[in-house]
């Protein structure tokens, strides 16, 4: 067999010349030195070199950060760290374009309580109902309420044992229950090997209807025959039937038991006047003896992103990191009022042929007792209390009278007012976080964040029949072309700046590992239980209950309006959830 040796001859020749030649590799250069395979061109301060002029980059052929000293080698990682964690040496290295080395996801149940409004539900310059009718009763002499009238007026003014009793008093927003919200918070954290990273979060919380019902403060035996009251309003002649049907209830007793001492709203009906010396007079109170309810509702949602820098200070048990980011928060604040007024006047006069005292509705002091033994607790239309004596029984067997000078076209009349405010806040935030404990086991920590937020607010106010409810003449009569002439609505928008501070503290640890049933779950055995408390304060917020101009006299074109009353909105929340790390 003949073999060809030409391939061996060629490879041997190439190898010989390769060994005889020289090879160039990356060398070690002093500081400032560089590799320059081309002669200096014009851009480097030298003379012209033909077609290659200006092609060499300043400082050499490679970027400055590829120099072995004092920068890094192009063959090394940008971040390289060796650390002892729990007795085990760990090496971490990372390049700029690599994904974060640690991830964490949290899901938390939120139980949040919000701040109430602060203002009176009513016009502060208008008189409350007790102040309004006291002079009317005084001018009536002994006619109203029998011989107890002087003592009753003293009770209205708080000068005897009636101090503090309610007679259609207004409600302050501070009397309402604080809104309790429930919701969810989700957080995703991505952390690099050097301790820096990103945090994405989202929050939603909502309050159920938070209701104040004035009937809750009335004896349960009262107000259970509203249908019969409606029938008497529709047909006032039933109050004085000469031959009533069999088993027909006593209309007067029905009204005494079912017209209630609820609450009122002081209003400016266009008569409030303030003199140069500060003297203010005018106005009156709208009162409601069938229903009075106030509802509030708050909803919050938001999201944001934070960049967490490398730790300012880090030990095996303490980690302090600054952060910066942007956030968006929205708050929807709703206020609603609902009231029903019968239209009856009952001034306590014992003579039915006497004219009714204007605006007057007499109620016994709401002490929760049947002082005159007639089977009705705290009667409407009579004063059953012995105000000037030692208590009880003073009313005797007084007979109440109820004025039927009302138009069933209007009464019973329902008053409604709704105010809806949406606040949209967005802006930058700065903060610092601090964690005590290692990455494994139980640990504590917290975060403090400050924000300066642009606050855009939309306000929508609407309602119907807001007026002095004992004055039918203040209403506009419906017509075929306008069935609801007393309705109103208005809108407004405002933009302001709202500083915000948020303080959070937390505790976290592998609690599920110590619970026999839960530690068997693949989802929970490597998860941490987390509990935290967060306090948030946002300044310059407009509240729904505090942003109403309480005025009403539709016949004069006066309806409630919008005012901007700002205060600090506070929320405090307890969060409980689960955290997963990988």
pLDDT of residue 175: 84
- Residue 383's DSSP bridge partners are none
Q: Which secondary-structure segment (H or E) carries 20?
A: helix 6-20
**Mean pLDDT across the stretch 149-156?**
79
Q: Read off the pLDDT of residues 352-374 as tens digits, 9 standing for 90 and up.
A: 567 788 899 988 888 888 877 88
Query: pLDDT class for 144, splitting at 50, 70, 90?
Result: very low
At residue 334, the pLDDT reads 94
CA 372 to chain CA centroid, nearest Å? 47
Residue 388's pLDDT is 57
Choose the most confident range, by mean pLDDT, from 83-97, 190-204, 393-407: 190-204
Res. 507: pLDDT tops 90: yes
Residue 371, class by beta-carbon neighbours within 10 Å (0-12 exposed, 13-18 middle, 19+ buried)?
Answer: buried
3-class DSSP state for residue 558? strand
**Dihedrals phi, psi of 172, to nearest 5 degrees:** -95, 150
Residue 292 is predicted with a pLDDT of 96
Which residue blocks in 78-225 are alpha helix, DSSP H? 129-139, 149-156
pLDDT at residue 392 above 70?
Answer: no
Rounded-to-integer distance, Cα 151 and Cα 134, Å: 11
Strand pairing class (487-509; 528-542): antiparallel
pLDDT for the residue numbered 574: 95
DSSP string of 520-540, one letter each residue: G-TTTTT-EEEEEEEEEEEEE
Q: Please report the pLDDT score of residue 488 as a whole number.
A: 96
In sequence order, what are the residues at sequence separation of 6 or more whose Cβ sits closer than 8 angstroms to the Cβ of residue 239?
A: 232, 251, 252, 402, 404
Pick from 534, 532, 529: nearest CA to 519: 529
Q: What are the structure tokens assigned to 78, written together?
A: 């940008």
Distances (CA, A) of 185 to 110, 425, 434, 462: 7, 18, 20, 33
3-state secondary structure of 238: helix
Report the C-alpha gap between 231 and 238 in whole angstroms.
8
**Burial (CB count within 10 angstroms: exposed 0-12, middle 13-18, buried 19+), residue 514:** exposed
Question: Within 10 A of 11 (CB to CB), how many other CB atoms are there?
Answer: 10
Band (556; pLDDT cuts 50, 70, 90): very high
449-491, pLDDT tens digit by residue? 999 999 999 999 999 999 999 999 999 999 889 999 999 999 9
At 89, list the tokens: 């040496």
Split at pLDDT 50, 70, 90, the class of 415 is: very high
Task: Please report the pLDDT score of residue 247 as a whole number.
Answer: 87
pLDDT of 68 reads 55
8-state DSSP, 172? B
Has this prediction a pTM greater than 0.85? no
DSSP, collapsed to helix, strand or coil, labels residue 523 as coil
pLDDT band at residue 320, thresholds of 50, 70 and 90?
very high
- Give the angle 563-565-570 at the CA atoms, nearest 5°: 140
Neighbouring-strand partners of residue 265 = 286
**What span, in angstroms and rounded, lies between the C-alpha atoms of 296 and 77?**
58
Give the residue, 154 or 300, on which the prediction is more confident.
Answer: 300
> 572: Cβ–Cβ under 8 A, 6 or more apart, which residues?
112, 113, 533, 534, 535, 536
> pLDDT at residue 297 above 80?
yes
Report helix angle 149-156 to 129-139, nearest 10.
Answer: 150
**In angstroms, rounded to a whole number, what is the distance separating the alpha carbons of residues 326 and 307?**
9
Band of the pLDDT at 43, cuts 50, 70, 90? Answer: very low
Q: Average the pLDDT over 264-268 and give the result.
A: 96
**Confidence band, pLDDT 50/70/90 cuts, at residue 92:** low
For the cut 80, the answer to whether the pLDDT of residue 45 exceeds it is: no
Structure tokens at 275: 């003199």
What 3-state DSSP class applies to 473? helix
What are the structure tokens assigned to 14, written together? 């190439």
Grade residue 390 by pLDDT with cuts at 50, 70 and 90. Answer: very low
Q: Among 33-47, 430-444, 549-563, name the most confident range.
A: 549-563
Tell me what pLDDT residue 96 has. 54
Chain-centroid distance of CA 491 in Å reads 20
* Mean confidence (pLDDT) of the chain: 82
Is pLDDT at 2 greater than 70 in this prediction? no
Strands 413-436 and 443-464: antiparallel
Q: Categorize the per-residue pLDDT at 107 as very low, low, confident or very high, splitting at 50, 70 and 90.
A: very high
């Amino acid at each position: 067999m003949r073999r060809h040796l030409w391939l061996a001859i060629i490879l041997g020749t190439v190898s010989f010349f390769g060994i005889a030649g020289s090879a160039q590799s990356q060398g070690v250069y002093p500081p400032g030195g560089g590799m320059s395979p081309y002669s200096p061109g014009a851009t480097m301060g030298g003379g012209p070199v033909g077609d290659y002029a200006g092609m060499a980059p300043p400082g050499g052929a490679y970027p400055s950060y590829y120099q072995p000293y004092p920068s890094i080698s192009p063959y090394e990682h940008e971040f390289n760290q060796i650390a002892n964690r729990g007795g085990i040496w760990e090496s971490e290295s990372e390049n700029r374009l690599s994904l974060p080395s640690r991830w964490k996801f949290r899901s938390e149940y939120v139980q949040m309580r919000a701040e109430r409004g602060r203002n009176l539900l009513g016009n502060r310059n208008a008189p409350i109902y007790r102040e309004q009718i006291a002079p009317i009763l005084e001018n009536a002499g002994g006619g109203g309420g029998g011989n107890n009238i002087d003592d009753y007026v003293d009770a209205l003014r708080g000068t005897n044992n009636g101090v503090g009793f309610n007679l259609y008093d207004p409600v302050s927003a501070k009397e309402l229950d604080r809104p309790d919200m429930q919701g969810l918070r989700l957080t995703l954290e991505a952390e690099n090997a050097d301790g820096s990273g990103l945090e994405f979060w989202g929050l939603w919380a909502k309050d159920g209807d938070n209701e104040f019902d004035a009937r809750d403060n009335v004896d349960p035996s009262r107000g259970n025959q509203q249908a019969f009251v409606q029938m008497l309003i529709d047909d006032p002649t039933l109050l004085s039937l000469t031959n009533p049907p069999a088993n027909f209830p006593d209309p007067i007793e029905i009204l005494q038991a079912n017209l209630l001492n609820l609450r009122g709203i002081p209003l400016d009906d266009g008569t409030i006047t303030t003199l140069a010396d500060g003297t203010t007079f005018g106005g009156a109170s709208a009162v409601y003896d069938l229903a009075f309810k106030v509802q509030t509702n708050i909803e919050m949602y938001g999201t944001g992103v934070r960049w967490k820098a490398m730790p300012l200070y880090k030990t095996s048990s303490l980690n302090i990191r600054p952060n910066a980011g942007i956030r968006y928060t929205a708050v929807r604040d709703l206020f609603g009022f609902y009231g029903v007024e019968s239209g009856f006047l009952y001034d306590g006069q014992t003579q039915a042929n006497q004219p009714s005292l204007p605006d007057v509705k007499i109620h016994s002091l709401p002490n929760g007792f049947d002082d005159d033994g007639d089977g009705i607790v705290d009667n409407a239309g009579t004063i059953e209390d012995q105000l000037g004596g030692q208590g009880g029984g003073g009313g005797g067997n007084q007979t109440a009278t109820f004025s039927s000078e009302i138009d069933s076209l209007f009464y019973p009349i329902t008053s409604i007012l709704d105010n809806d405010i949406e606040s949209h806040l967005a802006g930058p935030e700065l903060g610092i976080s601090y964690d005590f404990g290692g990455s494994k086991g139980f640990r504590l920590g917290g975060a403090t964040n400050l924000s300066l937020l642009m606050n855009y607010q939309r306000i929508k106010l609407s309602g119907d029949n807001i007026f002095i409810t004992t004055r039918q003449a203040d209403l506009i009569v419906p017509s075929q072309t306008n069935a609801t002439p007393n309705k109103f609505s208005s809108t407004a928008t405002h933009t302001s700046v709202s500083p915000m501070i948020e303080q959070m503290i937390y505790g976290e640890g592998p609690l599920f590992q110590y619970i026999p049933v839960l530690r068997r779950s693949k989802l929970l055995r490597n998860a941490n239980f987390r509990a935290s408390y967060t306090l948030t304060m946002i300044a310059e917020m407009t509240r729904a209950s505090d942003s109403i101009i309480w005025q009403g006299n539709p016949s004069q074109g006066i309806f409630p309006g919008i005012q901007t009353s700002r205060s600090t909105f506070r929320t405090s929340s307890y969060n409980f959830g689960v955290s997963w790390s990988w």
